[in-house]
Structure 1
Amino acid sequence: MTDASPPPDDVPALLAEAQAHHAAMRLDEAEAGYRRILAREPDHPLALGLLGLILVDRPGQEAEAQAVLERHLARRPSDSAGLYSLGRLKARQGDDAGAADLFRRAMAQSPGLAPAHNELGVALNGLGRPDEALAALDQAIATDPAYGAAHANRGAVLAGLGRFGEATDAQLEALRLAPAEPVALRTSLLKTLTRTAGKAGRLDVAEAAARAEHAAHPRDPDIVELLAEVLEAEDHARDALALRNDHARQTGAQPGGATDPEAPRILLLGAVGGGHVPLRYLLDTSRFATLALGMLSHGQPDAPLGGVALASLQAVDVVFNTLGDADRDAGQLAAAKRLCAAIGKPVINPPAAILKTARDQAPRLFARIEGLVTPGVRRVSPAELAHLSIERPLLARPAGDHGGENLVLLRGDADRDAYLASEPPDTLILTDFHDFRSPDGLWRKHRIIFVDRRPYPYHLAIGRDWLVHYWRAEMARSADKKAEEERFLDDWRAVFGPRAAAATEEIGRRLNLDYAGMDCALLPSGELLLFEANACILLHLDEPEAAFPYKHRHVPQIREAFSRLVIDRAAGRG
């Protein structure tokens, strides 16, 4: 506080000063002011409410935010801002029913509060009531037609109902209304639009939007990749390849990460046309100085380095080969192997080790592991699939595809014919389907991460359908599901049992990678059913700590283990 600040006993003046800071978005100063008031008058309703508004958006302070807002509402139960803020907190905790009630109470006091209508729509959709969700979102838009988030959420609900054309229009409007910055927000909206427009048969709309974003942000790697993916989906593979090569050439070797001169230096080696290890959470860039390089594709006159000098790459301490997908290789793993040899530094996930992790190599790589069921896998063209009679259920997906977005279950020849009519890409992976339902009728998918061959439990998704994804399973909305997941993270070996735990350890040894992961199911027999095991398994920690405290205990251990591995390799250990 400055000398001109009001004395500590002048509560009205302190409140006016704190509110002025709040209005100017000087939130630290505003928070300090509200706390000074509460130190003198612990039940001051306005100070409680305004402090709660700040705390609700402070990571890691959810518990205090809830306590403060509840104290505030005990004194002012009709305060719409407090009701809305507490509703947002409940929604982040996965309590959609409680959130919806609070949003309705806020709207009863302030019918024109568009954010409350918007958040009510999100909560109702989470409760499986999409028609009511659309009504709430429509009201948010009627109240504020320029409310971009409401248009985006409306698009998500429509997409969930299979109304992809309407969803595309809603997402286009959300993108139009989005601010120019941050670019990450626009990229996220564009990604959703691209996915929905493809299902609506309107890729031309997605291409136009992606080209507009690319014109505004020509060097943004995510936007470049989204435009390239749209071009590929429109059968313009050469244009997509040229776009990616131009971006890699213009970008060169991009420095980043820690600026401490003592920080280990790591080369993140990628390549045009390859499938990569997801790095967003895995790599702690506050601890490492990074140099990111995308090798040019074969056929380019200046491949693989463009204008990058080999000597500049040899200045690093360790190379992390981020090419992790043997099914989406395009010959780049061989190029990466040659470049790693030329650089002459320790390599994390050597390219040669990645080559053996293709999906159709799994039956051979993991053969005769006690307690493991590895489904049969084959690589076929659409023409070969057309002549294959489907006598047992098969899973079909494009080679190199992850995330299940393009995964389909073929139960018979009619499904096969319908799938072929969608004109799938030239190389497909067929996998024997095994019914992995648990005795309670639910489907469970366990994810294990391997760091330096050691297994770490990452998550457990529990769904009502065979296509189990964590986001689709709505884990946040079930206390029972979260309790079961917590037991898995606390002691995965006890959950798996000795036989399946031993099989897991052996999978890590046979993968023989510095970073990898596997998705699997625990069968009623006590055996593991393997879905996939490779280096492209996603690791993140996006779930709020208030709703998933156990994940925030366990997942950082994986990142820390990987950081230790990088430090050891950079120092020539291991």
Structure 2
Amino acid sequence: MNSSTELLKVALDRHLHGRLPEACELYRRVLAIDPRQPQALSMLGILLMNTPGRAEAESLFLRHLAVVPEDPFTLHNLGRLNHAKGEYGTAVDLFRRAAVVKPDLAPIFNDLAVSLNCLGQRDEALAAVDRALQIDPHYGVAHDNRGIVLYDCHRFAEAIAAQRTALERIPPDARPEQRISILFHLSLSAYEATDLVIAEQACRAILELNADHDEAIVQLGKILLRLRRDVEALALLNQLARRQGLIREGNAEHPEATILLLGGVGASHVPTRYLFDMDSFDTRSLTLLTPDQPDAPLAGVSLEALAEADLVFNLLGEVEKAGGHLETVAAQVLRLGKPVLNPPERVMRTGRDSAPELFGDIPGLLVPGVRRLARDERPEPFAAPFLIRPGGAHGGEDLALIETPADLSAYLDRVPHERFLLTDFHDFKGDRGAYRKYRFIFVDREPHPYHLAIAENWLVHYWRADMGQAQWKRQEEEAFLTDWRQVFGAGAAAVVEQVARRLDLDYGGMDCSLLADGRVLFFEANACMLVHLDDAEAQFPYKFRAVPLIREAVTRMIRSRISRS
């Protein structure tokens, strides 16, 4: 069996029967005889594209196109490889070329929609996924992806409908992971739509399929806490923390340093996914149990295991949602005797209602008044307009603008919390009739620009602002990230620097706006500031120059603290 034709026949048979390593080797033998054999090029590329051999798969597909120009299946596969690399624009071009040749293949349009959505091109993404469903109305994955695009458009009720349809349309013999993925997306959509019954049902369905699905447990805990079913939520989350124990990530072989991340069940944690250079550091994360647990706080993890760390990072960043753990973390830090970033006693000063006292005397900074309200109370006097939120809420969750007593009554009927924070509302509409929220990250008390969200509504959050839809918005954000002091001017820049010093955290940040009179309007300053770099580089190239500087600053700070100790 030496001819390429005979080898190819056997290779295809091995491939068909799942004997993939043998098929791979046989395809290579075919190509050694005939380097331009189209089937061998294509099939070997398909075998390698979901393995560490993706680069070779891409080379094989390009060679295949040199032999069979504009082959739609190879164009499609190349598009999928480029999407996996984050090259969404290239992926879109390849999918569109494939669709010209094969306009009746639903997966091409489905994958085109996914890449377009990653580029923030929501309308085009919906059109593409709708074309996939026009070709194949029973395509469950496409219904799910339609739900994801609708979620990103903040059309949560429609997203729920799409994801429910997806569950109905996936084949009965589909892998459990596929059903779990759709259920998780459904839970997220329902949560944002405040349909917490559906959100809870979706999470519980996931846990029936996989009782140890960590993300679903965390999401269910979040839902139960929002429903004020705290006992159920904490029982779930304590069980998860106990099972996970000490989680180790990063460079475990030759780390520069080992960082211990200490958090607590039921608490709001500082988002750290992007902060630490995992090629340099070994991180060990521990979520402390609630004080009522018999094995609290360490759940069987030894103090000796924790003492292997060189430095402790306190993950508790929100005073209102610290779960009673700040004192416990402080005690553990004391026992360990290690350098600590964001000491608990400093975090205790950073609640929203502490902001007027902490920052209110800074010239050029407008800090809105903040007061507390219990459910059975009514503000006296009724000084509208004001914002209301449950204590500890972030991300706009259950946040509303109150202008009349009727607004307040309707809000309290809708939101089942007992204690709330009221914040005086100052209109900050600016140029183009838009609202702007600037985020700074403070590393070792030095400000770094992170993002600028520009929205048409006062409730400004980056994910709601659709920054990918408007070039002028991205140009403004690029100017801010490139030279924030130039954008703010010397006076406002000095205000930001003073806030960073007053906050006095090793890691934290501030959200604010700039008023027409040059003053800085304070929104919040604390440790729970999200940093990530998940955007498409082709659309937000300036972020890939600015945001890594934050991680580099964190790395320098860690090295400095360890060298001092």
TM-score range, shorter chain: 0.7 to 0.9
Q: Which residue of 1 aligns with 2:263?
A: 270
Which residue matches 1:291?
284
Residue 253 (str. 1) matches residue 230 (str. 2):
no
Q: How many residues align?
A: 530
CA shift in 2, pair 1:321/1:174, >3 Å: farther
1:544 to 508, 530, 536: 536
Does the CA contact (< 8 Å) of 1:268 and 1:321 recur in 2?
yes
Q: Distance in 2 between matches of 1:258 and 1:83?
A: 41
Q: Does the Cα contact within 8 Å between 1:500 and 1:528 map onto a contact in 2?
A: yes
Letter in 2 for 1:199: T
Distance 1:121 1:137 in 2: 12
Give the drift of 1:109: 5.6
Match of 2:144 in 1: 151
Matching residue of 2:389: 397
Give SS of 1:199's match.
coil
Q: Does residue 137 in structure 1 map to residue 130 in structure 2?
A: yes
In the alignment, the residues of structure 2 paired with residue 388 and residue 122 of structure 1 have an alpha-carbon distance, to the nearest angstrom, of: 52
Matching residue of 2:498: 506
Q: 1:231 to 1:163 in 2, by over 3 A?
A: closer
The residue aligned with 1:92 is: none
Q: Counterpart in 2 of 1:77?
A: none
Q: Which of 35, 41, 45 is the equivalent residue of 1:18? A: 41
* 1:58-116 CA distance string (max 9 Å, x none): 536567768xx5xxxxxxxxxxx64166xxxxxxxxxxxxxxxxxxxx37962452552
Residue type of the partner of 1:237?
D
Runs (5+) with no aligned partner, structure 2:
1-24
1:345 aligned counterpart, secondary structure: coil
Corresponding letter in the other structure for 1:500: A
Partner of 1:376: 369
Bigger Cα displacement from structure 2, 388-397 vs 404-413: 388-397
The structure 1 residue matched to 2:556, chosen from 545, 558, 564, is 564
Q: Which residue of 2 aligns with 1:432?
A: 424
Which structure 1 segments of 5+ residues have no match?
A: 70-80, 86-105
Distance in 1, matches of 2:115 and 2:81, equals 22
The match for 1:338 among 328, 331, 347 is: 331
In 1: Cα distance, 2:303 partner to 2:167 partner? 41
Letter paired with 2:246: A
TM-score normalised by length of structure 1: 0.83
Aligned residue identity for 2:503 = L
- Is 1:228 matched with 2:221? yes
Instruction: Trace 1:312-331 onto structure 2 (pairs within 5 A).
Output: 312-331=305-324
- Name the SS of the counterpart of 2:441 in structure 1: strand
Query: 2:368–2:425: 8 Å Cα contact kept in structure 1?
Result: yes
| Other-structure match for 1:302 | 295
Distance 2:131 2:96 in 1: 21
- Report what 2:56 is aligned to: 29
Distance between the aligned counterparts of 2:335 and 2:483, measured in 1?
A: 43
Residue identity opposite 2:55 in structure 1: D
CA distance in 2, matches of 1:187, 1:209: 5
Whether the 8 Å contact between 1:141 and 1:151 is mirrored in structure 2 is no
1:541/1:187 CA distance change after superposition, 3 Å:
farther
Contact 2:268 2:317 in 1 (8 A): yes
When structure 1 is superposed on structure 2, of 24-33 and 465-474 the one drifting more is 24-33
Point out the more displaced range, 343-352 or 272-281.
Answer: 272-281
Cα pair 1:114 1:140 within 8 Å, conserved: no
Q: Which of 96, 119, 134 is the equivalent residue of 1:83?
A: 96
Q: For residues 293 and 433 of structure 2, what CA distance do their matches in structure 1 show? A: 53
Show the counterpart of 2:188. 192
Q: Residues 263, 185 of structure 1: CA spacing in aligned structure 2 closer, same or farther, 3 A cutoff? A: farther
**Equivalence for 1:355:** 348
For residue 57 of structure 1, give the secondary structure of its aligned residue in structure 2.
helix
- 8 Å CA contact retained: 1:459, 1:489: yes
Q: What displacement does 1:530 show?
A: 0.7
Instruction: For residue 549 of structure 1, give the secondary structure of its aligned residue in structure 2.
Output: coil
| Structure 1 residue 421: Cα displacement | 1.2
Distance 1:20 1:154 in 2: 32
Q: Give 2:367's aligned amino acid.
A: T
After alignment, is 24-33 or 395-404 more displaced? 24-33
1:502-529 deviations in Å (ceiling 9; x for gaps): 0000111011111101110011111110
Cα displacement (A) at 1:375:
0.6
Contact 2:310 2:562 in 1 (8 A): yes
Secondary structure at the residue paired with 1:170? Answer: helix
Deviations 1:281-323 (A, max 9, x none): 2223332212211111122232212212222211211111101
List per-residue Cα deviations over 1:402-422 (Å, max 9, x = no partner). Answer: 111321100111211110111
Rate the CA distance shift 1:127–1:252 in 2: closer, same or farther, 3 A.
closer
Q: State the distance in 2 between where 1:471 and 1:353 align.
A: 30
Asked if 1:419 corresponds to 2:377, the answer is no
CA RMSD in angstroms, aligned pairs only = 3.5
- Once residues 565 and 275 of structure 1 are traced to their aligned partners in structure 2, the CA distance between those partners, rounded to angstroms, is 23
Kept in 1: contact 2:388–2:400 (CA 8 A): yes
* Of 112-121 and 538-547, the range deviating more from structure 2: 112-121
8 Å CA contact 1:107, 1:116 repeated in 2: no
Alignment deviations for residues 246-287 of structure 1 (CA, whole Å, 9 cap, x no partner): 222232222232222444111110011221101122223332
User: Structure 1's 512 and 214: CA in aligned 2 closer, same or farther, altered over 3 A?
Assistant: same
TM-score of the superposed pair, with normalisation by structure 2: 0.84
| Deviates further, 421-430 or 187-196 | 187-196
- Report sequence identity in percent: 38
